Chains A and B, each alone.
Chain A
């Protein structure tokens, strides 16, 4: 149906009484000017549907039919509500809807639901009704945007035809060549062996072959020579790193969460490495995908390894992007990201499009969306933290295995010992405190004022010689007086047995012993203890090996203070105050006294002497000391026991508990439909089930989230094999048989070779969904092995080479460029990467004002680089790296001048080139330098013309020999031959 608007406006008489024609005219003028032949369906989709959804659906859609009126289907408005048909197509006078939106009689939308429509909006609906109210939303006949009949016969949803042919690469060529013939194009000859091995090596590993590998292949007379090359490459670890990266593109892997502060995901790497490992092991792709959706529920085996892997695999779900300030408030967006990716990655379906309304073109309804939504909202996702809730949580613990498991046992034993003897056991302290109080005698006390130096013996007077029994305690306690601070206090406590002059002790001896294992030190039978007497006797268990940067100052403290410390050196230390050599100091705490206690080794008369002096002159209000005798051997023994226990002070280093950023089952419930995709406007609950177009199968076990069943539905569907076969083809040839490899729906591209795709999908199934047999099959075909030099005819008739008359050359990907530079400069670290050097979680204070932002240097392969969601890695962004926020089905291959600037001036590029040249110059060579360079960079010998150009360049370049060769190496590393694969 075509509208000719000017005619319509000019002829119509019914307009005037209704809407101000003035407004209508305003609205229509642009249409008259720009789209005089707007199709009725398009008008509905562009103008009417969004308006109905935005302004009417809230009360008149789904099960919400205020006044009995539904406006989400044609039948709905035709049947109408309590007042009769809402719309009579073509007759605005008879259409109640038009009256209502003009606030004639009914007033719709009512004031509390947004109020009267604007004049433009009224004009849209009036125009639509007047012109027949064309409405493609017919219940029953459509699912989403496709008719049932069309959906039923949609090519991509049909069962894959079973393979009745032997798996032969020739069959691929039959399909390809047939279409070439139809278009009068000829297949090119096969490429040279050098081209082929370079193509295959980059294709399977993302790295170039060595010159030796090329020569071996060139000289191999075996008819299976190429098969041997392919087998060797498929067996290499580099294969999984390269093809794992393909998968990480599709599932938009990143190392940060993407919410407003872009928090790091320190455990996501386990999923990344699991992908690489699984691709290398060539596990069936059905298992590979089922594990990612529900590996926690059904691991691939019963071993601890299998269980761990099952959990780690669900990292696929956890690495979904998070949104907003408080992630939990925007969790519906995370679910959209999950559903969108599940649809595209596994099925080539754009399910995510049905969040706000039924899919416009494909058979996917909003109910389908929320049926799947319920499965994921019944799942508990690891929480990465966000600005208002900073710390990560719900990380899934893994079980230690192998060597780690033994280390863990050792750790647990050490931890148990530590816990049993844990410092300052509070029960013990309380017992001791209770014992001390009744048996304490104060022998002397005095204030030590500014610059004071009080001798103990002076203040002890008659108590100077005192009887102390074995295991009783003599204690010198220091109190801060009024002010805390500047209370550094020099102390000396001498104790002399009056019966035996040999038996004497002094706190001075502790200076040499201060670096012992604990604040409990035995000297000739007596035991000394550094204590906080206020909160116990509580040992000062924090060992200080330096104070304020002064290595000579060592001691014991609890927190900052109270503390005891010594200047252990023979020179004065000038710190916050002057600390003379070989002196013992104490500093009481803000609320705690400091005490040095001496546990008596045998009964006797003891002479007590020493001093307490102000060690921070000219500041503060001094301290008070107390000399106390605790006449309880039980107390002394208890103190000793506690001290011994505290000898084992260092807790065993906790092993970092292995955890996964993954998912588990959550609170299971169906989710409500969100009207217009707005979680604030819940509709009715939608039962969790499979997509309606595929039968709408309900869950067998609705008490579970449904992930496991979803995983089986997804992997059992014919789309799964088709989409996978197409991706494998695309990753070999650069373009898929369906070029929109994430969209096999009505808006996607049609397959260029439908039978070939069918054949490959059949092969995928016949080979148990393993990738390696497919690689072998495809790479053995002539189509894969053809020269990349397209004919003139092909370049004009089929410029994008859809028909594959030749192999399409390609530019190296960002990762391949970087890895190749690292390889030729011998800088590449081939060990797999693990976790990134993120700052520790406890230190995170990222916010939207100061989000996480880092680029970490590494010489590992690029697949192990840290990629952020909010800030793209500059190198990856420059060379069309994957989008960390959305599935990247195909890499771009742009050519922009800023890339050329990289080759001209980038530091990494220059250093790689210079290093490469330096290595070649230093090597023991049989070939000439230029030959060496060509062998390393291009895996071939230079031609005479190339030798001429390079040598001429080298000779005319001003500089040292090294500089000359570095220059030509830069040139060759910048060249098209290095950057393109034939």
Chain B
């Protein structure tokens, strides 16, 4: 907020140059009045249902469907029963030629216990494994659809078919945000994932809650790079505000007009604040190395993770990082070995992010969520098939940080990782839990639209109390 103030003061000084040429004190008072900071904007911080443990969320979305049985859900029985035929009424094999018979297929990576908790993680995630004592790993996730599009939409909006507001939109709608120079909900994604812009859409919630897309690269936010030198832009802005003030002074109900005048000052600040958030030049060499960030590059998941920390530091409420896009992702039908490069891409940055947040004390009020849209089948139509198929019946997600138990696993799948069995957690339950951590009763965070009260969890969901600290 100090930045905003600074700009205002600077602007006012410049504006005084205009004083002699315009209607003097009357105009100036108009400007001052309409630019006075007020906290009544649609995104100003709001009170939650009960005290929030998490103030911010970093939502790490691994797109394509990460195999749970090769990463965070060890299944020794799969080795024993490799090649054994099973029968399952599975959505991905129904009426699918060549899938009349299916066989168990063993994991391709070794698991070993880590940390004091001794939680087993596979060799795909060595850096995350190092942080395992900070994680609450949910091994009993399940979802309602076996298609990428629908499952991705479901994980983001709670709806598996029609468009609904994204979880980030619900949260900014419910909580507001603390830095008015930055959007409250930012999505950093190199490419679009399944279901396109719907995954970060505000849908029927007010537009101010829509996710702002950041595409790693030279201009992360559309139109944020000044097209003019700063001094000229300021001059134009001052003239604009003077013209607007004349216009407003001849009217009585000027709330909307003043809000728009104010939005220009905010936008002016964003031109500085947004690039600042993405300018890593003041980060230490150690930090950059820990995230595996090349200072000369503005892409890569390390860049995304470090950007996420910097945005949260600046008060952005909800930051989602999508690792890839709707192709070239974790969707390993053809070959599970593609998981190696994808895990390598995210593992070190995620480990660094958790350690960095912890070290800075930010993990106390930041919730880190790691998830995917569904798991991958522990079977295939031959045991030696290289890939695995979509698997909505079971997958693993984890939470870390504010309000979450440290170093635990929650829920279980059956011995082959086929079905969630113990303490099942549906996507709706997952959402209810995230909202709970942010201080919301998921049944009461509603929005009246088209004659009905809508919520993120539709008509379902219950809080997973077992992972709350």
Contact = CB atoms under 8 A, between A and B. Distances in A.
A811 B260 CA distance: 10
Contacts, number: 215
A950 B267 contact: no
B197 A872 contact: yes
Contacts of A850: 326-327
Contacts of B148: 260, 848-849
Interface in A740-780: 740, 742-743, 745, 747-748
Contacts of B233: 904
B256 interface: yes
A904 B207 contact: no
B159 to A, nearest CB: 11
B236 A971 contact: yes
B243 interface: yes
B140 interface: no
Interface stretch (B66-74, B111-119, B218-226, B294-302): B218-226
Contacts of A745: 451
Interface stretch (A619-627, A690-698, A885-893): A885-893
A362 B251 CA distance: 43
A974 B192 contact: no
Interface in B49-73: 49
A958 B232 CA distance: 8
A795 B253 CA distance: 6
B162 A333 contact: yes
A330 B161 contact: yes
Given A742-B450, A896-B263, A904-B223, A952 B327 contact: no
Contact of B264 (A337, A747, A900): A900
B196 A262 contact: yes
A54 B48 CA distance: 31
Nearest to B42: A894
Contact of A324 (B49, B150, B197, B451): B150
B183 interface: yes
Interface string A48-67: 00100000000000000000
B459 interface: yes
Contacts of B326: 848-851
Interface string A966-982: 01101110111101100
Given A883-B203, A897-B266, A975 B247 contact: yes
B223 A906 contact: yes
A898 B183 contact: yes
B149 interface: yes
B225 A905 contact: yes
Nearest to B449: A886
Interface in B82-110: none
B389 to A, nearest CB: 14
Contacts of B207: 877, 880, 892, 894, 896
Interface in B206-226: 206-208, 210, 212, 221-226
A945 interface: yes
A924 B221 CA distance: 41
A350 B161 CA distance: 19
B196 A792 contact: no
A120 interface: yes
Contact of B246 (A795, A906, A945, A953): A945
Given A872-B197, A945-B23, A905 B452 contact: no
A791 B250 CA distance: 12
B270 interface: yes
A977 B260 CA distance: 11
Contacts of B327: 849-850
A904 B195 contact: no
B195 A976 contact: no
Contacts of B452: 350, 353, 747
B348 interface: no
A800 B323 CA distance: 45
B206 A848 contact: no
Nearest to B182: A897
A870 B197 contact: yes
A905 B197 contact: no
Specify which of B21, B194, B271 lies most central, judged by the most chain A CB atoms within 10 Å of its CB: B21
Contact of B239 (A747, A792, A950): A950
Interface in B292-343: 326-327, 331
Interface residues of B, number: 77
Interface string B349-364: 0000000000000000
A376 to B, nearest CB: 17
Interface in A335-367: 337, 344, 350, 353, 361-362
A325 B147 contact: yes
A831 B441 CA distance: 53
Interface string B427-469: 0000000000000010100000011100000010010000000
A945 B197 contact: no
Contacts of A899: 263, 267
A550 B222 CA distance: 44
Given A324-B150, A743-B450, A848-B148, A976 B263 contact: no
A976 B247 contact: yes
B278 to A, nearest CB: 15
A910 interface: yes
Contact of A949 (B22, B49, B208, B248): B22
Given A880-B207, A892-B206, A967-B232, A324 B161 contact: yes
Nearest to B145: A324
A871 B257 contact: no
A574 interface: no
Contacts of A907: 227
Interface in A634-686: none
Contact of B261 (A799, A853, A976): A976
Contacts of A975: 240, 243-244, 247
A287 B208 CA distance: 39
Nearest to B267: A900
Contacts of B201: 872
B383 interface: no
Interface in A901-918: 901-907, 910
Contacts of B451: 350, 353, 361-362, 740, 743, 745, 747-748
Interface in B136-152: 147-150
A381 interface: no
A183 to B, nearest CB: 17
B121 interface: no
Contact of B22 (A344, A848, A948): A948
A188 to B, nearest CB: 10
Contacts of B130: none
Contacts of B267: 897-901, 904
B369 interface: no
13 contacts: A350-B450, A350-B451, A743-B451, A789-B251, A811-B256, A877-B207, A885-B203, A898-B212, A943-B246, A945-B246, A949-B18, A949-B239, A949-B242
Given A849-B194, A905-B227, A952-B21, 19 more contacts: A260-B194, A324-B147, A337-B162, A748-B451, A811-B256, A848-B147, A848-B194, A851-B326, A885-B203, A887-B450, A894-B207, A897-B263, A904-B264, A905-B271, A971-B236, A971-B240, A974-B240, A976-B244, A977-B247
Interface of B: 17-18, 21-23, 42, 49, 147-150, 161-163, 180-181, 183, 192, 194-198, 201, 203-204, 206-208, 210, 212, 221-227, 232-233, 235-237, 239-240, 242-244, 246-248, 250-253, 256-257, 259-261, 263-264, 266-268, 270-271, 326-327, 331, 441, 443, 450-452, 459, 462
Interface of A: 34, 46, 50, 120, 260, 262, 321, 323-325, 330, 333, 337, 344, 350, 353, 361-362, 740, 742-743, 745, 747-748, 788-792, 795, 799, 809, 811, 848-851, 853, 868, 870-872, 874, 877, 880, 883, 885-887, 892-907, 910, 943, 945-946, 948-950, 952-953, 956-958, 967-968, 970-972, 974-977, 979-980
The 9 closest A-B pairs by CB, nearest first: A900-B267, A870-B196, A747-B451, A897-B266, A260-B149, A849-B327, A952-B21, A905-B223, A901-B223
